[in-house]
């Protein structure tokens, strides 16, 4: 074997939800070849990681974000979505976002994600080729979409340019072992339905994921209804655009009809509770979506609207906010929420045959969590701990595609200090541009 992770509490997230105390994972190349019970003969391996006293879990999957915006964390807060976008974020992006910004912002966000247990992330932003290059260098798995938006953007000034670039991006990265290209029109409140339809046709032609914002806030609904006379989901259905391979980000203001359409058409949803709470945008009807069989993943959204990329915090929030909203402590149980952050996210992105659980044949995306902490002692239930007690700072080691990317809380693939120094340099440039 190339790698043996030995003697931990292995949370497989397989169909039986097996938890193997004192279990081991054997990895050959990028794939898991054995999940070993305690007492089993352990194979020789080029590298052995002692996982005793640790939880061994599948890598977390962040199903929505704009990762380079790590460079704008805290730039504008405490305002309504449309004000935040139109008066602060879009102008700041127009003045500052370039290829360098997207590259270094992705490196910065990748460090935060990897060190807090995220092994796969989803992104839609500008200069996506630079984002793909940075994610590849960091060693993360990523589903990336070059944004198509209905006004002059930092990278492309027209939607025709953006569509051509999106196709070129898909062609360039399709078939990569970790980078999955997608097609990503921004939203119906910024981008005309005819452009969205062309983007959808592109995703179908190349058989890659399709992602967009939809039903993000009441303000968005008002804009879409004023222009088209119906909700985003019903408009997409009318145009024949709903279907498998599509993930809608936020999906807060869905009607019963909308939910039924998503279930019928096999459309997935990314739930982003912390960002939605911070913007007072509302709360997605996740228990209803799950009850109808809609696949739901968890996402942080961008670090300028969250303001962190810690999926453990997102799980904790997702579980608690729905209990409060429904006045029912039994909704969104911990195991279901952890599933959303692993298998649910993988299925939402079309990656469920590769990642999301620790099973033979799947990619070795593995996270080790150090339980030898006062706040994690004792442990009665692994899912309770994973959702309500563990934080990203408890992550010790991260393996992606069989490669150790984080060892003892330090990235092995990047110079963390150099990335932070560059981030401070870009911060100074942003501040100067806003004077």
Question: Helix/strand/coil (H, E, C) string of 65-86?
Answer: CCHHHHHHCCCCCCCCHHHHHH
User: Mean pLDDT, to the nearest integer, of 55-77?
Assistant: 95
Residues of the chain above pLDDT 90, percent: 93
Q: Name the nearest CA neighbour of 355 among 401, 293, 398.
A: 401
In this structure, the strands spanning 268-271 and 246-250 are parallel
**Is pLDDT above 80 for 177?**
yes
369 is written with which tokens?
């969590």
Architecture (CATH level 2) of domain 60-348: Alpha-Beta Barrel (3.20)
Which part of the chain has CATH 3.20.20.140? 60-348
Tell me if residue 163 falls in helix, strand or coil.
helix
* Contact indicator for 78, 138 with CB cutoff of 8 Å: no
Task: Tell the residue number behind the tokens 């929505």, with chain if given.
Answer: 64
What mean pLDDT is predicted for residues 141-156?
Answer: 96
What is the pLDDT averaged over residues 216-232?
Answer: 93
pLDDT of the residue at 251: 98
Question: Which tokens is 267 given?
Answer: 């459309």
230 falls in which pLDDT band (50, 70, 90)?
very high
Report whether pLDDT(105) > 90. yes
Mean pLDDT over the full length of the chain = 96
How many other CB atoms sit within 10 Å of the CB of residue 431?
A: 11
Least Cα distance to 211 among 299, 280, 281 occurs for 299
| Burial degree of 205 (CB within 10 A; 0-12, 13-18, 19+) | exposed
Give the CATH number of domain 3-58+357-411; options: 3.40.50.12780, 1.10.10.10, 3.30.930.10, 2.30.40.10: 2.30.40.10
Q: Give the integer Cα–Cα distance in Å for 66 and 77.
A: 16
Over residues 380-391, mean pLDDT = 98
Tokens of 199: 């983007």
**399-408, pLDDT tens digit by residue?**
999 999 999 9
CA distance 361 to 372: 30
How many residues belong to the chain?
435
Is residue 323 scored above 80 in pLDDT?
yes
Could you give the count of Cα atoms lying within 13 Å of 280 in the half-sphere of its Cβ? 7
What average pLDDT does range 154-176 have in this prediction? 97
- Segment 36-47 shows an average pLDDT of 96
How distant, in Å, are the alpha carbons of 22, 175, 401 from that of 46?
21, 28, 16
**Beta-carbon-side half-sphere exposure of residue 199 (alpha carbons within 13 Å):** 35
Would you state the pLDDT for residue 16? 97
Tokens of 134: 């940075």
Half-sphere exposure for 99 (CA within 13 Å, toward CB): 4
Going by C-alpha positions, the residue among 18, 57, 22 that lies closest to residue 386 is 57
- What own/partner pairs with CB < 8 Å and gap ≥ 24 does 404-409 have? 404/3, 404/47, 404/49, 405/114, 405/119, 405/138, 405/139, 405/140, 406/114, 406/115, 409/115
Mean pLDDT of 123-128: 97
Model confidence at 77: pLDDT above 90 = no
The angle formed by the CA atoms of residues 206, 210 and 211, to the nearest 5 degrees, is: 155
Q: Between 128-138 and 99-115, two packed helices, what is the crossing angle to 10 degrees?
A: 40
User: What is the band of 85 on the pLDDT scale with cuts at 50, 70, 90?
Assistant: confident
Q: At 151, phi and psi to the nearest 5?
A: -150, 165
- Of 58, 29, 24, 61, which Cα lies nearest the Cα of 43? 24
List, in sequence order, every residue forming a beta bridge with 49; answer none if it has no partner.
5
CA distances from 154 to 16, 94, 200, 249 (A): 47, 6, 22, 22
Ordered DSSP codes for 164-207: HHHHHHHHHHTT-SSEEEEEEE--TTTS-HHHHHHHHHHHHHHT
CA dihedral 399, 404, 410, 411 (to 10 degrees): -100
Q: Round the CA-based radius of gyration of the chain to a whole number and report it.
A: 21
Q: What is the mean pLDDT of residues 324-347?
A: 98
Angle, in degrees to the nearest 10, between helices 159-173 and 193-206: 20
Pair of tokens at residue 138:
């960091």
Q: For the chain, where do the domains classified as CATH 2.30.40.10 start and end? A: 3-58+357-411
- At residue 341, the pLDDT reads 98
Strand boundaries in 60-167, DSSP class E: 60-62, 118-125, 141-148
pLDDT over threshold 80, residue 347: yes
Are 11 and 56 in contact by the 8 Å Cβ rule? The answer is yes
Which distant-in-sequence residues (6+ apart) come within 8 Å of 344 by Cβ? Answer: 61, 295, 296, 297, 298, 356
- Residue range 357-374, pLDDT digits in tens: 999 999 999 999 999 999
């Amino acid at each position: 074997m190339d790698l043996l992770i030995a003697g931990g509490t292995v949370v497989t997230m397989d169909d039986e939800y097996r938890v193997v105390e004192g279990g081991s994972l054997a990895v050959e190349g990028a794939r898991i070849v054995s999940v070993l019970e305690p007492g089993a003969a352990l194979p020789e391996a080029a590298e052995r990681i002692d996982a005793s006293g640790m939880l061994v879990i599948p890598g977390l999957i962040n199903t929505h974000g704009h990762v380079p915006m790590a460079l704008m964390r805290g730039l504008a807060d405490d305002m309504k979505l449309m004000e935040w976008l139109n008066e602060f974020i879009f102008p700041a992006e127009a003045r500052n976002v370039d290829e360098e910004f997207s590259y270094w912002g992705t490196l910065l966000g990748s460090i935060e994600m990897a060190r807090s247990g995220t092994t796969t992330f989803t992104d839609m932003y500008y200069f996506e080729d630079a984002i793909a290059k940075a994610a590849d260098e960091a060693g993360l798995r990523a589903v990336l979409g070059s944004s198509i938006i209905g006004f002059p953007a930092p990278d492309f000034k027209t939607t025709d340019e953006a569509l051509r670039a999106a196709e070129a991006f898909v062609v360039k990265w399709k078939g990569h072992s970790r980078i999955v290209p997608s097609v990503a029109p921004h939203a119906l409140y910024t981008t005309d339905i005819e452009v969205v339809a062309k983007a959808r046709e592109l995703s179908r032609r190349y058989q890659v994921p399709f992602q967009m914002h939809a039903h993000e806030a009441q303000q968005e609904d008002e804009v879409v209804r004023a222009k088209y006379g119906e909700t985003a989901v019903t408009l997409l259905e009318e145009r024949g655009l709903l279907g498998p391979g599509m993930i809608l980000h936020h999906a807060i203001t869905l009607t019963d009809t909308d939910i039924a359409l998503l279930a019928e058409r096999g459309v997935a949803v990314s739930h982003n509770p912390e960002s939605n709470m911070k913007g007072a945008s509302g709360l997605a009807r996740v228990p209803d979506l799950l009850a109808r069989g809609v696949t739901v993943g968890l996402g942080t959204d961008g670090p300028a609207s969250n303001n962190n990329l810690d999926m453990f915090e997102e799980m904790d929030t997702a579980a608690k906010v729905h209990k409060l909203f429904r006045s029912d402590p039994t909704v969104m149980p911990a195991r279901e929420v952890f599933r959303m952050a692993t298998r649910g996210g993988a299925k939402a992105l079309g990656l469920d045959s590769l990642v999301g659980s620790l099973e033979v044949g799947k990619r070795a995306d593995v996270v080790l969590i150090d339980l030898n902490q006062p706040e994690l002692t004792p442990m009665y239930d692994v899912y309770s701990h994973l959702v309500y007690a563990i934080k990203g700072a408890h992550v010790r080691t991260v393996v992606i595609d069989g490669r150790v990317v984080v060892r003892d809380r330090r990235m092995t693939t990047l110079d963390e200090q150099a990335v932070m120094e560059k981030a401070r340099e870009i911060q100074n440039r942003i501040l100067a541009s806003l004077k």
